[in-house]
Homo-oligomer: A and B are copies of this chain.
């Protein structure tokens, strides 16, 4: 259960952390902004401040439990770290997010970085477009 993951991350098991991890695991969406998490907590009548949400999410990120993504639009979104890296397809109209992995692209990135003398630490590929539903909707 959640407590183990938190403990293994070297963090104390506290109510806010357990709640937040629970929300990340059981909310319908895989990608939540800090604000989303906060609203969800409020709707559950939890007395947890927004500052704590940010702090906890940042700690979880440091511990490798979640990943922080900076899509367009100002705020960051967090998602549970599912182990494998993946990229995103984001619908600019409805916000729908599809994850994908493509080893061909990954390989090319490595090759390109090498050509320029870079050692890759991380990367972010986001494709913005209209999903099938939104293309028809207009």
A50 within 8 A of B: no
Bound Cα distance A123, B87 (Å) = 11
- A contact residues, range: 20 to 34
Stretch with Cβ within 8 A of B (4 or more), from A18-26, A40-48, A107-115: A107-115
Q: What does the 1/0 interface line of A20-59 toward B look like (CB < 8 Å)?
A: 0000000000000000000000000000000000000000
CB within 8 Å for A125 and B122 given contacts A70-B72, A112-B89, A116-B100: no
Bound Cα distance A67, B91 (Å) = 19
A129 within 8 A of B: yes
- CB nearest to A126 among chain B residues: B124
Bound Cα distance A125, B118 (Å) = 15
